[in-house]
Amino acid sequence: MKKKIGSAIIWGDSVARGVVFDETRNRYSIAPYTAAAMVGEQLGIEIKNRSRMGMTSSDGMLMMEKDLEKGLRADAAIIEFGGNDCDFNWNAISEAPDTKHLPKTTAEQYQKNIRTMIDKAHNAGMEPILVNLTPINAENYFQFISRGGLSQENILHWLGDKFQIYRYQERYSMLVSRIAHECGCRLLDIRSALLGVWDVTTSLFCRDGIHPTAEGQKVIGQAILNSL
């Protein structure tokens, strides 16, 4: 049986941070009530959120290492990465669509990074808890990445079809689930919770197609509460 969690440290990206796209100001900001805040408040868990926008698992691994060296500890280490890892350099793709392009973090390296963070958490006396990836709105994200003069034609030529973005991102989410199973870690399945909402990608996601809205953060928070 897993021990009761009284404190947790979150290492993750913008989703874990609670970043939303503010359309009125055309910029990113933090949701008024994030999933992390919701979980901490309702379960009485002390949460230290070390998540940062744009972070990959490689960035998170380095941050985690430095934080642990400084003595940062909690009952649980919540690890949430993948959305930036599976992303590509769309400028480069727009300029050279017939060239081979790799994601920011290959699937192989991504798995190594997640497993390394699990080991680091265990060695520090913390329970590692993994989080899978939120789904995305492929159409909106395609429009978002091709803004600012990038060639939609070239990007689409390289992709094959717009929904290849969704499928490739889904692979990384499946890898997280598999690692959790193989390592005996708890998995916070926020993807299923969001996909359980019929119009999820239009009602719970920002215009960029990848960040949950403030309402989406509440759905994520409730999914985590149900899991814990």
Handedness of CA 159, 164, 165, 171 (dihedral sign): negative
Residue in the block written with tokens 């941070």: 17
Write down the pLDDT at residue 38.
97
pLDDT digits 0-9 by tens, 66-88: 999 999 999 999 999 999 999 99
- Does any domain span residue 22? yes
Residues of the chain below pLDDT 70: 1-2
Task: Give me the CATH number covering residue 35.
Answer: 3.40.50.1110
- Does any domain span residue 127? yes
CA distance 199 to 194: 9
- Does any domain span residue 221? yes
Which phi and psi (to 5°) does residue 53 adopt?
-65, 135
How many distinct structural domains can be found in the chain?
1
- Does any domain span residue 1? no
Write down the pLDDT at residue 179.
98
- Does any domain span residue 168? yes
- Judging by DSSP bridges, how do beta strands 76-80 and 127-131 pair with one another? parallel
Write down the pLDDT at residue 228.
80
The domain in which residue 94 lies consists of 7-227
- Does any domain span residue 2? no
Write down the pLDDT at residue 227.
86
- Does any domain span residue 114? yes
Write down the pLDDT at residue 2.
66
Report the share of the chain in percent with pLDDT over 90: 89
- Does any domain span residue 47? yes
Q: What is the pTM of this model?
A: 0.95
DSSP symbols for 7-29? EEEEEE-HHHHTEEEETTTTEEE
